[in-house]
Every structure is written in structure tokens, then in C-alpha cells.
Structure 1
């Protein structure tokens, strides 16, 4: 593990080492973490699939921020620096993968949808231990996991970060309160710049307009809320929508499913 800035505790570094050095192509990592725990910026020599059966993870890389609720997982290539913060108690069930194996199915950081099959495969790999028997169940599970990751649908849950201090202040406040209704001109006052400059910064730094970035941040927060038990009405309020039907239409437009389906997808799988 490579560590920069704030670092993981020595105990956590020690417990992760066997998973970074295992001879198997894929190994499962199962740990429960308390609310607010933050790993600090670090990287691993192996690729990871970060998944939680319950709770929400907020993962920051050098250039993007990702929200990872239980209906999704985050694929991280080997050596990508990142920090993980637990937004509530988190039951992490992650996978460590040899770089050459992981590159067969994915080469960039991305959030993917978790199918019922992939969820069960992750749990099964975690139950196998670090040095699972070769030419048996472990090999079959590893092959299926890789196939499912390769076929998984990528989701728009990554938001690019900014190196500009003016825009970064706005992005951080909007991430904390996505329902904030201030318009571009009001946010420009917060950033101590003009609305034209702020609009330009959104385009050049994030690849989105102000409205697009805010909408995606709002809907990502709504998905997180739905995945942890919120009703569609509550999720709409969290996302800053007055109208539940309007929220439903925007949610389906981004994720391809309704808020009710997103909530039912997690609870239906979790209760099995």
C-alpha cells in the first residue's frame, strides 16, 4: 500500500497486506466500519472493486468524487490514489484483483451497477478466504466475477473535482447540500467571481454546465438515500425537487430505472 498525506492506522495497514500480496487472482475483503471513518489518501498495488452490502461510501480520487451506495460498486485500477469515507456505518465486501487480471475487464475508474448475481458472487468470494483452493470453486467464482464486472452497466455517479479554489468551494458546498436552491449568480457571489467566469469554470473544469453538475449531484444523493431506505418522496426532497413525478422522470432519465425500482433492487436483494 502506498500512502500520501493522512494515513490509515498501522493496524489497518497490517490487516490489508495479505490481500495485497495473495497469490490468487481475486480475493475477497470483508470488514465493517463505523460512521465517519476516513482512510486518507492511499493506493494499492492491486485493482479493487469497492462494494458495501449496507451503508454508503464516498470515494475521492485525485480528479473525481464518487458516491457508492449498496446498489453500486466502484472499480479502481491498481495504483489509483483514493480516499474512502464512510457515510454512516458501512459493511464493506470488496475484492482485490491482480492488475493483469483486472485489466481484462476494466481499465478506468468507474461506478457499476450491482446485479443480484454479482452481489452473491462477491459475498461468495469473501467467504472463500485469501488462499482459496485452486482448480475448484474459487476458480469458478473468480471467472464469473470477472465476467459480471466486464458486463456491468457503468453509472454516472462520478463528478470531476476542480483545482480552481473558487469553483472547488462551490462544488464542496453543493456536494454537502445538493438541495441548495441558489442560482449561478448567487453561487458566483460565494466564489467571489462573476457568473460568466463561474459558468466557464464549470465547463472547463468539470465538463458540465452548472445545471448539469448540480442535477447529477442531486440525483446521486437521491440514489444514495433510496439505497439506505428513504422513500421516493423523501429522496425527491433530498434532491431538491418539489414534485415527486418530476423527480421520478429526472431520476429515470439518468439511471434508467424508477426511484421505486432503485429502492426495491437493494431491499429485495438484501432480504434474500
Structure 2
């Protein structure tokens, strides 16, 4: 009996395995597909000759592409460059789309996999594609809109993983503690002391390894944890307290800075 695949870096079996719809040839130069992933689901490891743009309408998408691990909440997309070995998985229920783009149309897209800062126009196109069946729109208009989508994607700003990982064993030990308990409110000095390093060393390692301060990283991991709780109907106040914020206003300020909108508006839009 074949073993159930394991979600990368999780160490426990995934409950659901989803197979890709095609592995050799795309049915059209640009193909849009919706997917509803149950919790604890994964795809098998893949490597295809076309590019793939992944965008979560709700839930958080995780992809291990090459040596990088990407976590993308709904306001970010993920670009997987052609020929990149990757595997996707999710802890919580997720609704996402994949836009498959033939290699010859990827010339203006990033040459390596990365997170994509989705523009309002791209988000509007994706929402239209999501709710409008191709039978209603017609194949020719749909194909033209998909070409516009590719053009607009190529102009979007890119960034690294929303919540970067590190190969630094000492720093990763701290990150693991914060992943497991995002409400941990110990100061940088207290964390550094608990892991036998100076505060200055911790700050330097975080900036060098993560490309951001540890404070910024902590806020991002809190945001990733907040999204499924908000979608489940938890109040903003309850989520803020669960994540270690003394007041909901501080949580809302963090949420607005990272997503450009309030928690209530964000959940209503993604629903």
C-alpha cells in the first residue's frame, strides 16, 4: 500500500492528496483553474515546463519551490518559474486559483520563483475569472482577458517569501518557538538571552538571514495565524488577544499596514 504523502517540513501525513490536472501539455497558452483545498492537503512534487501563478482567495497557501519555502496570505500571489521543482500544501482550508502560462509567454515574468504583490487590477481580473464561467463569457473573450492578466502580472512588484525561512540553526530555533506560539511577547533582549546570544547578534542575524527585522517577521507570522481565525468567525478582539496584542487597535494597525485594509474589510472581500 502506498504511503500517504507528507506535507513538507511538517513531519505528519497529509490527509488529502490532490493530483495536478495535466503534466505534459497545457490545453491553452494561458489556462485558469480554481481549486478548493480541504485542510491538511498537498499536491505531489511537480516540475513542469510552464510557469504558474497561484493566488489564494481565502486561506493561506504554502509552496516549497526549489530551496525556498513560501507562505502567501491572500493579498499576495506566488510565481513559480518554469522548470522549478515544487510542492504545494496547506494547513487550513483554502480556496485558490492557478494561472498556468506557457513558457513562451513568460519572458516578462520573473526568472525565479517569488511572491507577487497583487495590484487592484490583477485582483479584479482574478475575481472576474473566478465568478464568470467560460461558457458564459465565451472562449475568445476569456483568452483575451487571460493575455491581459499575464501582461498585468508582469508589472506587479515582487518580494521574497512573506514569512522567510533560514538555514541558521540558532536563529531557526527562535523562529520555531515564535511559529509555535505567535503570542510570545518576550522582547528581543529576552529572546536573545534565552538562546544564549546577545541582542545585537540576534538583530544582525535576523536582518542578514531574513532580509527584515525580527519584529517585522513576528508581525507577519501573527498575520498568517490571524487569517484562518478571522475567516472562522472569531472577533477581532479575540484574535488580537490570542496573538499577544494588548489591544485590538494595535492588532488592527499591524493588519492594515501589512494588507492595506482592516481585518473586517479584508475578510469580507476575500469571502
- TM-score normalised to the size of structure 2? 0.75
Superposition map of 1:220-235 within 5 A: 220-227=224-231, 229-235=233-239
Superposition map of 1:97-176 within 5 A: 97-107=101-111, 108-113=113-118, 115-122=123-130, 124=132, 128=134, 136-150=140-154, 158-176=162-180
Q: 1:245 aligns with which of 241, 244, 249?
A: 249
How many equivalent residue pairs? 254
Structure 1 residue 238, shift from structure 2 partner: 4.2
Per the alignment, in what secondary structure is the counterpart of residue 160 of structure 1?
A: coil
Q: Choose between structure 1 and 2: higher helix proportion.
A: 1
CA pair 98-37 structure 1, distance change in 2 beyond 3 A:
same
1:209 corresponds to = 213
Per the alignment, in what secondary structure is the counterpart of residue 42 of structure 2?
A: coil
Structure 1 residue 117, shift from structure 2 partner: 3.3
Superposition map of 1:5-154 within 5 A: 15-16=19-20, 18=22, 20-39=24-43, 42-61=46-65, 62-69=67-74, 71-107=75-111, 108-113=113-118, 115-122=123-130, 124=132, 128=134, 136-150=140-154
Structure 1 residue 164, shift from structure 2 partner: 0.9
Contact 1:35 1:90 in 2 (8 A): yes
1:270 corresponds to = none
Q: What whole-Å deviation, never above 9, does each CA across 1:202-227 have from its counterpart, x for those lacking one?
A: 12111222222212322343345435
Q: What whole-Å deviation, never above 9, does each CA across 1:160-208 have from its counterpart, x for those lacking one?
A: 2111111112223322322211222443355444433322211211122
Per the alignment, in what secondary structure is the counterpart of residue 59 of structure 1?
A: strand
Residue ranges of structure 1 left out of the alignment (5+ in a row):
268-272
What do you get for the CA RMSD once the two structures are aligned?
3.5
Contact 1:68 1:111 in 2 (8 A): no
Residue ranges of structure 2 left out of the alignment (5+ in a row):
9-13
Contact 2:109 2:153 in 1 (8 A): yes
- TM-score normalised to the size of structure 1? 0.75
